[in-house]
């Protein structure tokens, strides 16, 4: 990350979810935005919308990398929508755009994002999402997840 | 485009270019940022860097959609870097992210962006770039190009 | 190209076209298949279907790289369908899969394929398609196009 | 799948692996080719090369969908190399090209392929690969894996 660039944190998870999970994602979005980090997500509903809503409520900035080729498909909390037209292959871009990934429960799309994040050496924090082994950092609450993510995003990286 | 969203204008062109062309791209970036539009580009050097520099000097916002998978490859005037890892296929995303495309001289990569923009029904303004036929809107100066782009971006679209 | 690999020739052009153009594409497909080259195309209708039909009639092999994510969308002359789900971005893969590209008339999708082919240093033979400058090799007839393509595909390349 | 099309089976797994695993992948490749199915894989080394080698030894056909943009990067047992230039995002194409996926041990790239396969409703057979839950069909031996894959590939699908 260039000096002067803000940390970017991805929040991934189901496109449809319970109100409880959506609120948890919102809380994460709020906390990372309040600390000056940028939120990146898939730009659609459920966890993605919850996280973006929280980030906007805290005055943050949100980026949505969409599967479709139309900006109109982004949820209303997305500041900058990138309509890829690449379908689920956009998942790989969501995690590459971030320093750290926070994963909420989701199906196989979420699993692919966690896999690509680990492949790209992005730390993955799981809030009750897929537990894939010791590389995944567990968190129980939005507060824990956000604190861990901000700490890891601030850490100097040795990207190749 | 959702109500409330700012217009997004793409500037495309060679990754290496003369100082004169770079300054022209800078002037375009400045004018579109001064009017409140967001600049999207390929995030690299030459025309892309010129346009982003101009936009930042006018206090605007810049998005760079990168061919590589590392944010560090963005030029220093990019606020939000999207490292795709998709190589030249990221060209299609640059133009899809925009309402209007302004093309400066460039090689076949620039030509592919103009082709994809026309395919996606984005108006293409050419500042001495490839002249492909009557769909391309010619402009002679940065002022003309920016004014045309802002006008076209403000126009209601009927996207399918 | 590894020793022992057969030459691969891409035929690109409109997904809908006149019977005359379709027959010309068929003739090209037939000639390249008869010479032992493999046909690659976008797998859909029009020029792509014509070329694939011709290649199959001559006992050749056909590969279709599809925009959709379903093999069922390939035309019936495709032996090996690669359903990408990447939409028009699959154009870049069609030309990368080939040693030489033969372009028939088509719209901006075809133009993007010609642009990507030139960017990837694949020779482009145009049968009344977009004339983009001196890099494009003109051909008037299917026979001319096929002969030129086979000759160029046989030439040793210095790919980087 | 269109009537008359041969079944296509993907074999995924580590790009570097033990001789034992490579031989097991080879055995799978041999068995599916002997039954008339086409092998698709990522075209590189390790499990992919093992499977392709086996398929060729049984007189089968092999397709390799490569991360790089050069056909020359395919292993020598690949009949048809598709050089995507899309990096790891090509994983999604490998599984979409197949009716059934057989997964051998591998790292996060393999995990992403299993995730995308499940997302795309392709049955996934795991030979000691990631065990992700009940959707994954376990197999202990190459014989078991090949038999299961051929049976599932022959089953009529209701793709959406």
pLDDT for residue A1:
36
Which of chain A's residues have a Cβ under 8 Å away from the Cβ of B74?
Answer: 2
Which of C95, A96, C65, C100 lies closest to B112 in space, CA to CA?
A: C95
| Partner-chain residue, chosen from D38, D69, D76, that has the shortest CB–CB distance to C96 | D69
Q: What band does B133 get if pLDDT is binned at 50, 70 and 90?
A: confident
pLDDT for residue D5:
77
**Distances D51 to A78, A141, B101, D55, D85 between C-alpha atoms, Å:** 44, 44, 46, 6, 22
- Decide: B82 and A66 in contact? Cβ < 8 Å: no
Mean pLDDT, chain A, whole residue set: 94
Mean pLDDT, chain C, whole residue set: 94
Residues with Cβ within 8 Å of residue C4, at least 6 apart in sequence:
none
DSSP string, D4-61: TPPPEEEEE--SS--HHHHHHHHHHHHHHHHTTPEEEE-SSSTHHHHHHHHHHHTT--
Segment A72-77 shows an average pLDDT of 97
Of A47-51, A149-153, B84-88, D2-6, which gets the smallest average pLDDT? D2-6
Which of chain A's residues have a Cβ under 8 Å away from the Cβ of C85?
Answer: 86-89
% of residues, chain C, pLDDT over 70: 94
Q: Report the predicted TM-score, pTM, of the whole model to 2 decimal places.
A: 0.93
Task: Compute the nearest-CA separation of D114 from chain C (Å).
Answer: 16
Which of C74, C25, C72, C65 lies closest to C41 in space, CA to CA?
A: C65
Kindly list the residues of chain B whose beta carbon comes within 8 Å of any beta carbon in chain C.
86, 88-89, 92, 107-109, 111-112, 115-116, 118-119, 130, 132
pLDDT for residue C33:
98
pLDDT tens sequence across D76-92: 999 999 999 999 999 99
Q: Which residue reads 């020598």 in tokens?
A: D76
Q: What band does A131 get if pLDDT is binned at 50, 70 and 90?
A: confident
Segment B104-112 shows an average pLDDT of 97
Are β-strands C80-83 and C62-66 bridged in parallel, bridged antiparallel, or unpaired?
Answer: parallel
- Decide: A111 and A27 in contact? Cβ < 8 Å: no
Angle at D89 between CA C116 and CA A65, to 5 degrees: 90
- Decide: D12 and D113 in contact? Cβ < 8 Å: yes
Q: Is C73 exposed, middle or buried (0-12, 13-18, 19+ CB in 10 A)?
A: middle
Cβ–Cβ gap A86/C88 under 8 Å: no
Segment D142-159 shows an average pLDDT of 87
Residue B16: phi, psi to the nearest 5?
-135, 135
pLDDT for residue B87:
94
Q: What band does B118 get if pLDDT is binned at 50, 70 and 90?
A: very high
pLDDT for residue D28:
98
Kindly list the residues of chain B whose beta carbon comes within 8 Å of any beta carbon in chain A.
1-2, 5, 8, 38, 61, 63, 65, 69-72, 74, 76, 80-86, 92-93, 96-97, 120, 159
pLDDT for residue A5:
77
pLDDT tens sequence across C34-64: 999 999 999 999 999 999 999 999 999 999 9
Q: What band does C101 get if pLDDT is binned at 50, 70 and 90?
A: very high
Q: What band does B126 get if pLDDT is binned at 50, 70 and 90?
A: very high
Question: Does the pLDDT at position B76 exceed 70?
Answer: yes
Q: Which residue reads 């103009």 in tokens?
A: B114
Of A2-11, A52-61, C64-73, which gets the smallest average pLDDT? A2-11
Segment A58-69 shows an average pLDDT of 97
SS3 A27: helix
Question: Does the pLDDT at position B160 exceed 80?
Answer: no
Task: Compute the nearest-CA separation of A79 from chain B (Å).
Answer: 8
pLDDT for residue A132:
86
Question: Does the pLDDT at position B142 exceed 80?
Answer: yes
% of residues, chain A, pLDDT over 90: 90
The rounded distance, in Å, linking the Cα atoms of A60 and A62 is 7
Question: Does the pLDDT at position D146 exceed 90?
Answer: yes
Of A114-128, A144-158, C127-141, D97-111, which gets the smallest average pLDDT? A144-158
Secondary structure in 3-state letters for A90-144: HHHHHHHCCCEEEECCCCHHHHHHHHHHHHCCCCEEECCCCCCCCCEEECCCHHH
Cβ–Cβ gap A69/C89 under 8 Å: no
ipTM: 0.92
> How many contacts does B have with C, using Cβ atoms within 8 A?
44
Residue of D nearest to C37 (CA): D80
Question: What is the helix, strand, coil percentage profile of chain B, to 5?
Answer: 40, 20, 40
Q: Is D46 exposed, middle or buried (0-12, 13-18, 19+ CB in 10 A)?
A: buried
Segment C16-45 shows an average pLDDT of 98
pLDDT tens sequence across D61-71: 999 999 999 99
Cβ–Cβ gap A85/C88 under 8 Å: yes
- In sequence order, the β-bridge partners of residue D8 are D38
The packing angle between helices D142-154 and D19-34, to 10°, is 40
Kindly list the residues of chain A whose beta carbon comes within 8 Å of any beta carbon in chain B.
1-2, 5, 8, 38, 61, 63, 65, 69-72, 74, 76, 80-86, 92-93, 96-97, 120, 159
List own/partner pairs for C144-149 with CB under 8 A and 24 or more apart. Answer: C145/C28, C145/C102, C146/C27, C146/C28, C146/C31, C146/C32, C146/C35, C146/C102, C147/C31, C149/C9, C149/C28, C149/C32, C149/C37, C149/C100, C149/C102, C149/C123, C149/C125
Cβ–Cβ gap B92/A85 under 8 Å: yes
pLDDT tens sequence across C109-152: 999 999 999 999 999 999 999 988 889 999 999 999 999 999 99
Mean pLDDT, chain D, whole residue set: 94
pLDDT for residue D131:
81
Which of chain C's residues have a Cβ under 8 Å away from the Cβ of A85?
Answer: 86-89
**Distances D21 to D15, D46, D96, D123 between C-alpha atoms, Å:** 11, 8, 24, 21
Cβ–Cβ gap D108/A119 under 8 Å: yes
Segment C16-42 shows an average pLDDT of 98
Neighbours of chain B (3+ CB pairs under 8 A): A, C, D
């Amino acid at each position: 990350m260039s000096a002067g660039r803000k940390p970017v944190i991805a929040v991934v998870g189901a496109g449809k979810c319970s109100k409880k999970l959506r609120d948890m994602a919102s809380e994460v979005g709020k906390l990372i935005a309040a600390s000056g980090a940028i939120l990146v997500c898939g730009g659609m509903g459920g966890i993605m919308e919850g996280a973006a809503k929280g980030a906007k409520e805290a005055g943050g900035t949100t980026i949505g990398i969409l599967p479709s080729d139309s900006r109109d498909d982004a949820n209303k909390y997305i500041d900058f929508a990138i309509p890829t037209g690449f379908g689920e292959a956009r998942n790989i871009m969501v995690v590459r755009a971030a320093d750290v990934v926070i994963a909420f429960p989701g199906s196989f799309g979420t699993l692919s994002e966690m896999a690509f994040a680990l492949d790209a050496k992005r730390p993955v924090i799981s809030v009750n999402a897929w537990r894939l082994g010791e590389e995944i950092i567990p968190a129980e609450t939005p507060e824990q997840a956000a604190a861990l993510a901000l700490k890891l995003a601030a850490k100097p990286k040795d990207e190749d």
